[in-house]
Amino acid sequence: MAMASDVVTEGKVYDIRNFNTRIATGTLRPVLSNYCIDFTNESIIIPVLQDDFTLPFHKFEFTDLANLTDIVNSYPETKCPEYSIELIGVVQDLQEPTLVPTIYGEMQLVRFKLTDGRFSYKVNIWTDDIPNFDIFFKDDLQCPIVIILASARLCKFLGIVEIATLPSTKIYINLEIDYVLRFRQRLAVDGFQDIAGTIRDIERVGFIQTHVGQKNFVRFVLFDGSVSVKVTVWDENIVVLNQILENNFEEIPIVVLATMRARLFLSSVQVSTTYNSRIYINITYDPILHIRQRPIKEMQKMMSFLTTTVVTLLPEDFSIPMHRLEEEGYISHGNTTSEPLPTLPPPIIQIVTLKELGDKSDSDDAKNNQTDIYPSTIKEIVGKECIFTVEMSDDNLLIQSKIFKVKDARDTSIATPSASQATLASGSNSSYADNIIELSNFAGTPGSVKSYAKKIKTVKNKLTFL
């Protein structure tokens, strides 16, 4: 309120008297409370000069960046969300302020990416909302720049989740609180899951139809001199890859794929980009310099696999607007470059070697699938003669598949029940029912982590669990 703005300063303690409380209304509220305070003409605000109690200077309720997509999808389509959000992350790819035409006239906009080391989102700061935005461009800022966005708004543009400011938004840069210190320490230890190497065996692939529409992709092999992995690059990153490969490099180009997704497929490690991924080349960074300091023979081996083939897209009319590449920092004044603009802070990268990536994928796959760990209930029937309830599928009938689905198993050492006993199979007093092993209750058996029916196959008239 204008009445209180002249006498209330953030961070100070006040004794406030004669005010009203009411149920909070409106949307994009900055505080997760159902009540708000209304000042009246009789309200009294008295500064507390010597307080004998301690109140925290700041109180934040941060939202994990991993949850932003789910949060946006939960918003009603016809109205704004009830609350704004608070976020913490590192500033990357900071751009100079630009004038953008809007329905309210030209407005100044600052763009950057907010990342927590795993996920990153574009942030649009309208300088009318943040008068002190120039603090981003000070030379003495500690890097990485850890920023807190208090009371921000999520929105979706062309299917991409973005973060925008509000008139109530507050920005804190490198705030000296415990949470920021812990966040900075985690980044120093964990960093980003990035990999580096040279590109070889580029394939001209084209596009496929997915549940989210048509997607373009290209595949190549990333090679670090000893280990290679298959990489799939999707959509707009293909254009960036083209810009990189069209340059004439005087030295071996070392590519860094930042924030990638790795998985184990058919016993081989495969890496693919996400909408958060970035591609860098020949950036000045210690791990890259170490790769270049390898023996001449190793570098020649890496160079021998390097190809100058330029990736082309199908269909031919597919393109990414040029301004998108300018926003990403890959195109500046008509010249292509793979590095961020000179004024931008360097990316935070923690290189994972390709061998470590393979070992990690093997370990994660073993943890997820539990292929060698059988539940105790399955162990009980090993070596026994059992009667199985088998479900027939269309494959069993049409193509004579010998892979069946099993719902439960019965120990044949228990006498087969009569018709009257069968009706009591689910009763607690039936010895026959006690020996039925409900396989459908187990979702952790080998080879089918989330299934509700175990698969078996017949080999020489014997049933074998898959």
Tens of pLDDT, residues 220-255: 666 655 556 677 777 666 666 666 556 555 555 666
- For 11, residues 6+ apart whose C-beta sits below 8 A from its C-beta are 57
The kind and range of the H/E element at 198 are: strand 195-210
Check: CB of residue 380 under 8 Å from CB of residue 437.
yes
Q: Give dist(CA 119, CA 335) in Å, integer.
A: 29
C-alpha to C-alpha distance for 441 and 322, rounded to whole angstroms: 54
Tokens of 378: 């399955």
Q: Which of 184-198, 311-325, 392-406, 436-450 has the lowest mean pLDDT?
A: 311-325
pTM > 0.75: yes or no = no
pLDDT tens, position by position, 336-384: 334 333 333 344 444 455 555 556 555 555 454 444 445 566 666 666 7
Q: What is the DSSP letter of 440?
A: G
Mean pLDDT of the chain: 63
The CA distance from 65 to 120, in Å, is 7
209: three-class secondary structure by DSSP: strand
421: helix, strand or coil: helix
Range of weakest confidence among 141-150, 384-393, 412-421: 412-421
| Torsion (CA) 198, 203, 208, 212 in degrees, nearest 10 | 10
Q: Is the dihedral of CA 343, 347, 348, 353 positive or negative?
A: negative
Q: CATH number of the domain at 65-190, please?
A: 2.40.50.140
Alpha carbon of residue 71 to chain centroid: 14
Phi, psi of 331 (to 5 degrees): -130, 130
| DSSP for residue 28 | S
Mean pLDDT of 68-87: 79
Q: What is the pLDDT of residue 449?
A: 34
Do residues 386 and 412 touch, judged by C-beta distance below 8 A? yes
Q: 65 and 119 in contact (C-beta within 8 Å)?
A: yes
List, by residue range, all CATH 2.40.50.140 domains of the chain: 65-190, 195-367
- Flag whether pLDDT at 103 surpasses 70: yes
Q: Which two tokens stand for residue 52?
A: 């004998």
Please report which confidence band the pLDDT of residue 281 belongs to, taking 50, 70 and 90 as the band edges. Answer: low
What CATH class is the domain 195-367? mainly beta
What single string gives the DSSP state of each residue in 124-151?
A: EEETTT-TTGGGGG-TT--SS-EEEEEE
Question: In this predicted model, what pLDDT tens digit does every residue of 393-452 receive, in sequence order?
Answer: 666 665 566 666 776 667 666 544 443 343 333 344 444 445 444 544 444 433 333 333
Please count the other Cβ atoms lying within 10 Å of the Cβ belonging to residue 379. Answer: 9
